[in-house]
Structure 1
Amino acid sequence: MGNDIVLKSTSLKTGYYNKNKVKTVIGDFKNLTLEKGDFIALLGPNGVGKSTLLKTLSGELLPISGSIIIDNRNILDYSNIEKSKVLSFVFSNVQIVGNLSVKETVMMGRYPYVNWWGKLSPKDDALVIQALEDVGAIHLIERKITQLSDGERQKVMIARAIAQDTPLILLDEPTAHLDLINRIEIFQLLKRIARKHQKSILLSTHEVEMSLQIADKMWILENGKCTIGTPDAIISEGEIERVFSNKNIGFDTNQGTFNYCADKTLFSYNISIDSNVEITEETRLRISWVEKKFLSEGCVRSDTPDFIIHLILDNNSKNLVWDISYLNTNKRCEMDGLDLFKTILKLYTR
């Protein structure tokens, strides 16, 4: 392998054997490659085999066929201690046994390197401190791991993986139980780690929009196959829309975001803007919200709409107002998007 390639698989098939040693193939992948500094998001619907692939790449599960090379050696040739020096694994919900402190928990990542007397060195202690600083959790160093929030605990587990000092870090849905702010923080710190320490990081996740913004590459699993590409290539090729869209959710390729759709059509509409209206950033955002609100309610744009909606500058108040035409009725309401929808709904259902 090249100097920058940390992991490479060839003709890899993943799956499992039942009690009668009958094999079930879940994934069939030609060539998967991770290079130094890569931050890669592994995505796909539930049950598609993301965890199985991660566990196979880590050596926890044997491949059905094919080979996995990490740091120029077949993963099957590594002893457990040797393997723990080339890859670390962070799970979504780790249960720490015992009343360990944060420092003791992170120090567990250094155990593959203990000397013959089972003692950790000052270097190990320094690496633990550095790892906690890298994830912004140095202030937690004396706290008990059981006293931490989910977000804090996950940062500590990532610090343990950093302290383990492996070229490859695998993470299985590390943000699954976190709130939005913590999910963003975890994504950002993982990317910083990939850049700062030139680690190869592969994480499975359901955070599609976040992955599109932050990941270097995406591996998308579907029907036992893996589509690989940069976020812009994945979007332009329609992979996100094809894999993740259905009647209730659609992907906006221009915005790189998902829109939530209703099951049934409510009414059709068309929005236009008067020429004397100055389109500020606030106005643009509010119009965008109206479009998304209408879509979520089952309203569709049309050239022959039920409702004609015109954004104008009111001559008297000098405020922006919605001018609404429906059948032989004309109504006006303030710029507020919810007020617009409620006004239209009253006209539609009366």
Structure 2
Amino acid sequence: MIRFENLTLGYGSLTLIDSLSGEIPSGGLTALVGRNGTGKSTLLRAIAALGPKQRGEIILCGKRIEELSPTEMAKTVALVTTDKVRITNLRCRDVVALGRAPYTNWIGRIQPQDEAIVGEALASVGMSDYADRTMDSMSDGECQRIMIARALAQQTSIILLDEPTAFLDMPNRYELCTLLRRLAHEEQKCILFSTHELDIALELCDSIALISPPQLHILPTEEMVRSGHIERLFTTGIVRFDPATRSVSVKE
């Protein structure tokens, strides 16, 4: 579980999120949505202790992030970014094995039990047959699955993903988010991902975290649709959100 207590994020005099209190539960898939430049990536980085916060608390699985050592943090939170790994001769299994770093000895030697966990992670995302392929031979969708397998091998309670559907075609977007939902439900993980794909968020996610500066609203998906927050945020002079059909259309 991720809990926020009076959290404020921003840069200098610019406040992106102000006085946020709430929680993102375990065992579900939550989409982080909002307009461009409203702080989605900033929030994910703050949760992963990779970015500053102006005030307030971020509590992960009952502990303030300041109370977690780097090793404890790496055993609590896994972050998947949009960075592409395209290193020649780097095998998929080697990338996934990087998730075992918090559990290895000081020289980083992989033990048989670590190899077994790597295999299980690859199997969970349907990539066992790709273990010995090199990353530079993989498609974007396949690479995303490998990076998610790396996060699973890290065996954290929380997985954060920054726009994991970017650069994917529509079938792969739905397939990837269906995979994330299954992992959240079956392994009782707290999975939070940022996205601009409102249709996917409404179709597949258990909860929506919506940034409407400077507020962040966290609600179960059906409640979010009924709340009017999405309609107010995404309706402009050109487009409108229809809560009845849960879709965005161009105004006539």
TM-score by length of 1: 0.69
Residues 1:227 and 2:217 are matched in the alignment: yes
Residues 1:214 and 2:204 are matched in the alignment: yes
What is the match of residue 8 of structure 1? 3
Answer yes or no: is the 8 Å Cα contact 1:23–1:64 preserved in 2: no
Of 119-128 and 94-103, the range deviating more from structure 2: 94-103
Q: Using the TM superposition, give the Cα deviation of residue 98 of structure 1 relative to its aligned residue in structure 2, in angstroms.
A: 5.5
Of 22-31 and 178-187, the range deviating more from structure 2: 22-31
Counterpart CA distance in 2 for 1:139 and 1:95 is 19
Q: 2:167 aligns with which of 177, 182, 193?
A: 177
Residues 1:146 and 2:136 are matched in the alignment: yes
Q: 2:235 aligns with which of 230, 233, 245?
A: 245
AA in 2 matched with 1:107: A
Answer yes or no: is the 8 Å Cα contact 2:24–2:218 preserved in 1: no
Counterpart CA distance in 2 for 1:54 and 1:233 is 23
What is the match of residue 93 of structure 1? 83
What is the match of residue 271 of structure 1? none
What is the match of residue 28 of structure 2? 38
Counterpart CA distance in 1 for 2:150 and 2:225 is 34
Residues 1:52 and 2:42 are matched in the alignment: yes
Counterpart CA distance in 2 for 1:55 and 1:242 is 27
Q: Deviation per CA, 1:105-136, whole angstroms, max 9, x where unpaired?
A: 00000111003553212111111111111111
Q: 1:155 aligns with which of 121, 145, 163?
A: 145
Counterpart CA distance in 2 for 1:122 and 1:170 is 27
Matches within 5 A, 1:168-207: 168-207=158-197
Larger radius of gyration: 1
Structure 1 runs not aligned, ≥5 long: 1-5, 17-21, 262-297, 299-350
What SS does structure 2 have at the residue aligned with 1:229? Answer: strand
Q: Which has the higher contact order (CA 8 A, sep 6+)?
A: 2
Q: Using the TM superposition, give the Cα deviation of residue 208 of structure 1 relative to its aligned residue in structure 2, in angstroms.
A: 0.6
What SS does structure 2 have at the residue aligned with 1:40? Answer: strand
AA in 1 matched with 2:42: T
Q: Using the TM superposition, give the Cα deviation of residue 93 of structure 1 relative to its aligned residue in structure 2, in angstroms.
A: 2.8
Q: Using the TM superposition, give the Cα deviation of residue 96 of structure 1 relative to its aligned residue in structure 2, in angstroms.
A: 5.0
Counterpart CA distance in 2 for 1:67 and 1:227 is 17
AA in 2 matched with 1:219: A
TM-score by length of 2: 0.95
What is the match of residue 16 of structure 2? 26
Q: Deviation per CA, 1:241-279, whole angstroms, max 9, x where unpaired?
A: 211122322222222122233xxxxxxxxxxxxxxxxxx
Answer yes or no: is the 8 Å Cα contact 2:85–2:136 preserved in 1: no
What SS does structure 2 have at the residue aligned with 1:126? Answer: helix
What value does the CA root-mean-square deviation take over the aligned residues? 1.5
Q: Deviation per CA, 1:186-212, whole angstroms, max 9, x where unpaired?
A: 100000110111110011101111111
What is the match of residue 286 of structure 1? none
Change (3 A) 1:134 1:224: same
Counterpart CA distance in 2 for 1:91 and 1:182 is 17
What is the match of residue 61 of structure 1? 51
Q: Deviation per CA, 1:155-196, whole angstroms, max 9, x where unpaired?
A: 100110011000000111011111101100110000011011
Counterpart CA distance in 1 for 2:179 and 2:97 is 20
Answer yes or no: is the 8 Å Cα contact 1:92–1:177 preserved in 2: no
AA in 1 matched with 2:73: K
Counterpart CA distance in 1 for 2:70 and 2:78 is 12
Answer yes or no: is the 8 Å Cα contact 2:96–2:147 preserved in 1: yes
Q: 1:166 aligns with which of 156, 175, 178?
A: 156
Counterpart CA distance in 1 for 2:224 and 2:2 is 22
AA in 2 matched with 1:207: E
Q: Using the TM superposition, give the Cα deviation of residue 104 of structure 1 relative to its aligned residue in structure 2, in angstroms.
A: 0.3
AA in 2 matched with 1:55: R
Change (3 A) 1:235 1:129: same
What SS does structure 1 have at the residue aligned with 2:177? Answer: helix
Structure 2 runs not aligned, ≥5 long: none
Answer yes or no: is the 8 Å Cα contact 1:40–1:217 preserved in 2: yes
Matches within 5 A, 1:316-335: none
Aligned residue pairs: how many? 252
AA in 2 matched with 1:10: E
Answer yes or no: is the 8 Å Cα contact 1:13–1:26 preserved in 2: yes
